[in-house]
């Protein structure tokens, strides 16, 4: 298969890029890694009139730790580059683990973090990780920049709050507390495939280390966007995550999600797996957590 004809531009300045995005084209798409967009173009599921290459805009390639401890990831930072930095400098171990589950090394070497977020496949790892970690999305457009919480960024299958003429310029992950525990589990038919279901969990213990002060649990592959289970989080707050506590949330997980049947798995199967992965991720997070210093 070959893509339909299109115009190609590779601006070197962000202002120039935003001007081109705002031009009077019927369909404009931006490309950095192209791991999702190029196959869609080859199958003519996407037929942009103008394709804008982001890779020459140096500003979009920033990857840095901010003074407040947050991690800033620019639009052209690849998943492999972020993973290398996390492995070398530490912090955000659940993010590193999630990235390791994305496709294969060849995919991660080209695919970008922000590209996966903006594409928003609801079975992908990065959108769920962004929601679980309370990431902030920096959206750039003709009216300037705006910040959107990850929980509000994803709307439905392959759609986000990005408006025509806007792009996801950066994602910022808040500082990672050293005592925070984490869990990441997913089920895929083969290593590197999109997950049938996945779970991301974090736990912060209280000062004494006896109970969970804060819990985050996000599922992916069970709905039209990442599903944060606030009811489960509230039910576990203030408790030790022992076997009884974890067993008590199983029906809460099952009731909180509404997966659909598809050619890969039935809704009932996804629900059952979601329960098991949730319990496992929470147990891992509790075991890896420690008392706040």
Give the pLDDT mean for 37-50. Answer: 88
Give the pLDDT mean for 24-35. Answer: 83
Residue whose structure tokens are 């991301």: 200
Measured in whole angstroms, the distance separating CA 82 from the mean position of its chain's CA atoms is 13
Q: Give 3's pLDDT tier (boundaries 50, 70, 90).
A: confident
pLDDT of 110 higher than 80: yes
pLDDT attached to residue 8: 92
pLDDT attached to residue 291: 87
Does 62-173 carry CATH code 3.40.309.10?
no
Reported as a single tens digit per residue, the pLDDT across 44-67 is 888 888 899 999 999 999 999 999
List the single range of 34-43, 221-230, 250-259 with lowest mean pLDDT: 34-43
- The residues with which 52 forms a beta bridge, in sequence order, are 9, 30
Q: Give 2's pLDDT tier (boundaries 50, 70, 90).
A: confident
Catalogue the E-assigned strands of 191-273: 197-205, 212-220, 227-228
- The residues with which 181 forms a beta bridge, in sequence order, are 203
Percent above pLDDT 90 for the chain: 83
Residues comprising the chain, all counted: 293
Burial of 25 (0-12, 13-18, 19+ CB in 10 A): middle
pLDDT attached to residue 26: 67
pLDDT of 23 higher than 80: no
pLDDT attached to residue 176: 98
Are 60 and 31 in contact by the 8 Å Cβ rule? The answer is no
Provide the residue ranges of all domains of the chain, joining segments of one domain with +.
7-53, 62-173, 181-288
Residue whose structure tokens are 């496992």: 280
Q: Give 25's pLDDT tier (boundaries 50, 70, 90).
A: low
Pick from 147, 152, 185, 201: nearest CA to 169: 147
- The residues with which 72 forms a beta bridge, in sequence order, are 64, 172
pLDDT attached to residue 270: 97
Q: What is the CATH architecture of 181-288?
A: 2-Layer Sandwich (3.30)
* Element containing residue 256 per DSSP (H, E): helix 250-256
Q: Which two tokens stand for residue 45?
A: 């599921």
pLDDT of 24 higher than 90: no
pLDDT attached to residue 137: 98
185 vs 165, higher pLDDT: 185
Does 7-53 carry CATH code 3.20.20.60?
no
Give the pLDDT mean for 86-103. Answer: 97
pLDDT attached to residue 197: 98
21 vs 135, higher pLDDT: 135
Give the pLDDT mean for 192-220. Answer: 96
Catalogue the E-assigned strands of the chain: 7-9, 28-31, 50-53, 63-65, 71-74, 136-141, 144-149, 154-156, 159-160, 167-173, 181-187, 197-205, 212-220, 227-228
List the single range of 30-39, 212-221, 222-231 with lowest mean pLDDT: 30-39
d(CA 226, CA 150): 10
d(CA 106, CA 144): 34
Pick from 181, 154, 180, 139: nearest CA to 281: 181
Mean pLDDT, all residues of the chain: 95
Global confidence as pTM: 0.96
Give the pLDDT mean for 137-142. Answer: 94
Calculate Rg over the CA atoms of the chain.
20
């Amino acid at each position: 298969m070959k893509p339909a004809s299109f115009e190609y531009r590779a601006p070197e300045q962000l202002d120039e890029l935003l001007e081109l995005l705002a031009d009077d084209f019927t369909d404009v798409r931006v490309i950095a890694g192209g791991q999702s967009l190029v196959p869609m173009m080859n199958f003519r599921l996407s037929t942009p009139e103008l394709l804008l290459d982001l890779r020459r805009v140096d500003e979009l390639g920033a990857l840095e730790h901010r003074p407040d401890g947050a991690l800033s990831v620019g639009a052209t930072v690849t998943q492999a580059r972020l993973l290398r930095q996390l492995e070398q400098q530490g912090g955000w171990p659940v993010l590193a683990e999630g990235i390791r589950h994305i496709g294969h090394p060849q995919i991660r070497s080209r695919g970008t973090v922000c590209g996966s977020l903006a594409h928003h496949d609801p079975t992908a790892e990065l959108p769920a990780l962004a929601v679980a970690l309370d990431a902030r999305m920096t959206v750039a457009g003709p009216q300037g920049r705006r910040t959107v919480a990850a929980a509000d960024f994803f709307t439905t299958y392959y759609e986000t709050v990005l408006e025509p003429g806007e792009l996801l310029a950066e994602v910022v992950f808040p500082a990672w507390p050293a005592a925070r525990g984490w869990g990441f589990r997913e089920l895929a038919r083969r290593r590197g495939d999109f997950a049938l279901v996945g779970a991301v969990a974090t736990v912060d213990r209280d000062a004494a280390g006896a109970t969970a002060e804060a819990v985050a649990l996000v599922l992916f592959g069970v709905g039209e966007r990442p599903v944060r289970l606030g009811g489960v989080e509230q039910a576990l707050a203030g408790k030790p995550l022992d076997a009884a506590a974890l067993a008590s949330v199983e029906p809460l997980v099952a009731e909180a999600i509404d997966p659909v049947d598809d050619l890969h798995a039935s809704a009932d199967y996804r629900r059952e797996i979601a329960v098991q992965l949730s319990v496992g991720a929470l147990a891992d997070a509790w075991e890896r957590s420690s008392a706040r210093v």
